[in-house]
Amino acid sequence: MDSVPNPWFSLDYLTRNWSEVSEQLWIHTTLTLQAVLIALAIAVPLGIAARRIPRLAGPIMGTTGVLYTIPSFALFGLLAPFTGIGRTTVLIGLVAYALLVLVRNIVVGLQGVDRDVVDAARGQGYTSGRMLWHVEFPLALPSIIAGIRIATVTTVALVTVGVVVGYGGLGQLMFRGLQSDYRAQIMTATILCLALALVFDLILMLVGRALTPWTRRRPA
Amino acid sequence: MSILSDAWDYLTTAQNWTGANGITSPTFDGGWRFSRDSILGLGLEHLWLSVAAVVLAIAVALPLGIFLGHVRKGGTATVVVSNVTRAMPTLALLTLFAASAIGYGNQAVILAAAIFAFPPVLTNAYTGMADVDPDIRDAALGQGLTRRQVALKVELPLAIPLIAAGLRTSMVQTVATVPLAALVAGGGLGVIINEGLATQRYGQVLAGAVLVALLSLGIDAIMARLQRAATPQPLREAAMAA
């Protein structure tokens, strides 16, 4: 079976196919960014609503739990007849999954804000809008950033499932590598995927640190 | 909605449940396997793949997590492991295994799923053991218990609620991951979805998705019961509050 050399690592593959690899890497990167940003734009108001109107918290958290049991594989497939094959379908699926993680962390973060702090702020005459942006939101920020990091890293991994509708970024390379039994192609795509997740996570960690300088001055 | 009615038709056709030739079919080497045209057969195969993967993960992760948590070492390593596996696409592992000596089919699926079932068990066992109140440990040691007894008779029972929660997460997650197996010629309910996609019968895709979701929810409910049963009585209220 292995009469033809079929190495796992091949620099030759990368140099010869760089245009294709970089194209899929670009798709993968932009798709991830777009999905997380859209999900964030929807999750913030939802999370705030769940916090402000406690009756909504149960249904919002419950729905997110159930949605997570639907396999991504099936979700992409189900969207296909309505939104066609391609980017939009994958994007909707990615936004849905990222949304779950984000809403959860925003709600948990806001719930974790010390009641005494809120009372003190109210006593000082903060209106509810100002309280949200100047007191509750900054205090919930570490939890929210943790949520964004998890959502981003899982989204990078999830993009590959887009293969089902022919738009999986690096997953496209993995699947084609499998079909043509080309190990270097699968391995290269896998490593690039992990590297992309790592880079995103590092950037977000640094952004998080810059946004929450007070968390570093905590007594050890 | 033709997709909805197609899905309904698919789910209400008796032959789709039992298969044309029964739940299992013979293989060429005289053995048997689950039929790929029977919901019952595929469902059982799905369960078998998930359970095999989780058992494999438990066999390694549970002793390791309990030991590391007891000696309170390797906390960073467990976090790194769980972060890396989160970034690792399931598809990548499946294709890597399928293209390697392991080959296509259920073996690659069980191994890949086991790797994803690993982190929740490990981190929860570690945290459960490591977070036991140091005063309790000291008291137990002061009463003359050996370190081994402290680990097994004091820390472990206190860590059970978290360990059980880890097993539950791991199991539910695995049931929802196994459908990808169909992409590398594995079995399980993903086969229904994959077949539907390939033939553009989206009603069948929906039916497959519903079946997987129901199975996950059912497993979650069972695991929740087991979790409750495994938790020692005095710890139950604290576990529910957490």
pLDDT tens, residue by residue, B114-155? 998 998 899 999 999 988 888 999 999 999 999 889 998 899
Among partner residues A78, A161, A174, which is closest to B206 by beta-carbon distance?
A78
* A143-193 residue pLDDT tens: 899 899 989 998 999 999 888 888 889 999 998 888 888 888 999 999 999
Q: Residue A145: which CATH number?
A: 1.10.3720.10
Q: Give the one of B180, B193, B216 whose C-beta lies nearest to A69's C-beta.
A: B216
How much of chain A, in percent, has pLDDT values that exceed 70?
96
A57-75 pLDDT tens trace: 878 777 776 777 777 877 8
* Interchain CB distance below 8 Å, A190 and B96: yes
For residue A22, is it within any domain? no
Residue A62 structural domain: 29-213
* Residue A85 lies inside a defined structural domain of this protein: yes
pLDDT value of residue A101: 85
ipTM associated with this complex? 0.78
Is A13 contained in some domain?
A: no
Confirm whether B72 is domain-assigned: yes
Q: What is the pLDDT of residue B142?
A: 92
pLDDT of residue B3: 81
Q: What is the DSSP string of chain B?
A: -HHHHHHHHHHH-HHHHH-TT-SEEE-TTS-EEE-TT-HHHHHHHHHHHHHHHHHHHHHHHHHHHHHHHHHT--HHHHHHHHHHHHHS-HHHHHHHHHHSTT-SSHHHHHHHHHHHHHHHHHHHHHHHHHTS-HHHHHHHHHTT--HHHIIIIIIHHHHHHHHHHHHHHHHHHHHHHGGGGGGGT--STHHHHHHHHHTT-HHHHHHHHHHHHHHHHHHHHHHHHHHHHHS-HHHHHHHHH-
Chain B residues with CB-CB distance to A183 below 8 A: 99-100
Task: Say if B224 is an interface residue toward chain A (CB within 8 Å).
Answer: no
Identify all chain A residues contacting B112, using CB atoms and an 8 Å cutoff.
none
Into how many domains does chain A fold? Answer: 1
- Residue pairs spanning A and B at CB distance below 8 A: 120
In a domain, A187, yes or no: yes
- Chain A residues within 8 A of B91 when measuring between CB atoms: 160-161, 163, 168, 171, 174-175
* Residue B189 domain flag: yes
Task: Give me the residue label for tokens 């039916």.
Answer: B207
With beta carbons under 8 A apart, name residues in chain B contacting A81. 3, 200, 202
What end-to-end distance do the CA atoms of chain B give, in Å? 43
User: Which is it for the CA torsion B57, B172, A74, B52, positive or negative?
Assistant: positive
CB B41 within 8 A of CB B35: yes
Of A74, A163, A171, the CB nearest to B179: A74
> Domain total for chain B?
1
- In chain A, count of helices (H) and strands (E)? 10, 0
State whether B193 and A178 contact (CB < 8 Å): no
Task: Answer yes or no: is B206 within a domain.
Answer: yes
Note whether residue A6 is domain-resident. Answer: no
Is residue A177 assigned to a domain?
Answer: yes
The verdict on residue A10 lying in a domain is no
Residue B169 lies in a domain: yes
Residue A218 inside a domain? The answer is no
d(CA A44, CA A154): 19
User: Looking at the complex, does the CB of residue B3 fall below 8 Å from at least one CB of chain A?
Assistant: yes
Q: CA of B46 to nearest chain A CA: how many angstroms apart?
A: 13
- Please report whether residue B18 resides in a domain: no
The boundaries of the domain holding residue B199 are: 2-8+37-241
Nearest to B193 among A73, A178, A183 (CB): A73
Inspect the interface and report whether the beta carbons of B212 and A161 lie closer than 8 Å: no
Give me the CATH number covering residue B140.
1.10.3720.10
